[in-house]
Each structure stands twice: as structure tokens, then as C-alpha cells.
């Protein structure tokens, strides 16, 4: 079993993420990452029209969990692929956010058969909780080795102690916009009956704007969308 120091933080860099996921088993050049620089309605609407196959968003922001109140719990009426960020996963929230986007959209992702991700999702499909899935990840030495390789890339030196920033994923499951935060106990439904997929980015943009307001206007954040080609 690996210790938490093996799970270093990922830099928010779409090129690193692209190479990392391809190392894990996503078919080369089958995904694209769109960095969102504006949260205004017209810009997000235009991006949605330009990239109609967007299926997830990953938000990086300063970790203010100690200042925020937990959201009211809501009962999930459908299955959501969720992985808990247990202590032995260290600073793996970036990887966990990527897995949350992929794991809830496997019908749209082109995985290479018998690849690391294909095997991982096959194993975790039998798990009954986010903690069980976390333990599968902790014990996957091949994914861990790949993670260490790509976490050490980028302009920021990788750290194995507490980091200031945190990743959260957003995707649509069963026509519901869901927030997936591995540090929470379970997924959180933002809104239901989101049948118009073109409104996904606009809804996520509103969520991010609210979070920025909670951070007193702190603009140290990034928002990256994932889409199939």
C-alpha cells in the first residue's frame, strides 16, 4: 500500500492532464480540455455552442473548507460514481476530480481495453461506497506511479504536505447537475431536470461566481471543461 506522500497535487494545466489521462488509458486525442477565462453568460453560451460535447468541469480554488458550512444533505435517487478522498490519498484531489468526470461518463469516454483506467473502473464498478473505491485507488501501484510522474511536471514544485488549493468536479448524471467533492461524504445535487445540456456551462458558471463571492472576490481559481472530440 502506498502512503499519502505518494499522491502529490496536480498542477492545473490542461496539457499535463491530457498526457496524464492518455498514460492512464484514455485513447490518444479523444478528449479535449477547454480553459474558461470568462464567467459571463454570453461567453459560456458561445463556448457551449462551440464545444457541444462538453461533459464535465473541474474547478480549482483556494481551500476554504474550514470557513464554509456544509451543504444541506440531499438524498440521491440514482447512482453516482463517487470516490472519497481518504487520508491515504494525500493531495490527490486533482486526480479524483478527473476520475469523477470520467467515471460518470464512461459511455462517452474512449478507453483502451485492459488499460489502467479500464481495469480501475471495472474493479470499482463492484464497489458499494466511495471509501471502497478510494481503497482500490490507494492499492493501485500502476496508477500511483503514473500519478507521481505527471504530478512532478509543471511550473510549480510538487508538495506532499497540505496545499492551499482544492479541486471539485461538476457533471451531469441522470439529467441532474452534480457536484463531486472527494472531501465531502457524498455527491451533492445542484439542480435537477437539466435536460438542456447547453445550459450546463452556464449553471456551472453561476456556481463558480457564487463561490468567488464567498471568497470575498479572491480570483485565484481556474475552471476547465472536458469534452469528447
Q: Kindly list the catalytic residues.
A: 93, 166
pLDDT at 78: 84
Break the chain into its structural domains and give their ranges.
Answer: 4-228
pTM score, whole prediction: 0.92
Query: What is d(CA 45, CA 108) in angstroms, rounded to the nearest whole number?
Result: 22
Report, at the CATH architecture level, how domain 4-228 is classified. 3-Layer(aba) Sandwich (3.40)
Q: What is the pLDDT of residue 82?
A: 97
At 226 the pLDDT is 98
pLDDT score, position 1: 46
> Where are the strands (E) in the chain, listed by range?
31-35, 54-62, 165-173, 176-180, 188-191, 222-228
Compute the distance between CA of residue 182 and CA of residue 60 in angstroms, rounded to an integer: 13
**Per-block average pLDDT, block size 10, for the chain (229 residues)?**
73 94 96 95 96 96 59 71 96 96 97 97 96 97 95 69 85 95 94 86 94 79 95
Q: What is the pLDDT of residue 219?
A: 78
Amino acid at each position: 500500500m502506498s502512503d499519502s506522500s505518494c499522491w502529490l497535487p496536480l498542477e492545473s494545466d490542461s496539457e499535463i492532464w491530457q498526457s496524464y489521462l492518455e498514460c492512464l488509458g484514455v485513447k490518444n486525442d479523444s478528449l479535449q480540455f477547454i480553459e474558461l477565462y470568462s464567467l459571463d453568460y454570453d461567453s459560456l453560451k458561445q463556448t457551449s455552442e462551440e464545444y457541444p460535447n462538453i461533459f464535465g468541469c473541474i474547478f480549482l480554488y483556494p481551500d476554504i473548507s474550514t470557513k464554509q458550512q456544509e451543504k444541506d444533505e440531499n438524498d440521491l435517487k440514482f447512482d453516482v460514481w463517487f470516490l472519497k478522498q481518504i487520508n491515504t490519498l494525500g493531495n490527490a484531489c486533482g486526480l479524483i476530480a478527473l476520475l469523477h468526470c470520467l467515471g460518470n461518463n464512461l459511455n462517452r469516454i474512449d478507453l483502451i481495453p485492459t488499460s489502467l483506467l479500464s481495469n480501475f473502473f471495472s474493479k470499482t464498478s463492484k464497489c458499494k461506497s466511495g471509501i471502497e473505491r478510494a481503497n482500490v485507488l490507494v492499492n493501485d501501484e500502476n496508477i500511483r506511479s503514473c500519478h507521481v510522474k505527471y504530478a512532478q511536471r509543471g511550473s510549480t514544485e510538487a508538495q506532499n504536505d497540505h496545499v492551499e488549493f482544492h479541486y471539485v468536479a461538476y457533471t451531469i448524471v441522470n439529467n441532474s447537475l452534480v457536484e463531486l467533492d472527494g472531501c465531502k461524504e457524498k455527491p451533492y445535487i445542484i439542480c435537477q431536470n437539466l435536460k438542456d445540456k447547453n445550459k450546463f456551462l452556464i449553471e456551472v458558471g453561476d456556481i463558480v461566481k457564487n463561490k468567488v463571492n464567498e471568497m470575498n472576490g479572491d480570483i485565484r481559481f481556474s475552471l476547465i471543461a472536458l469534452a469528447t472530440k
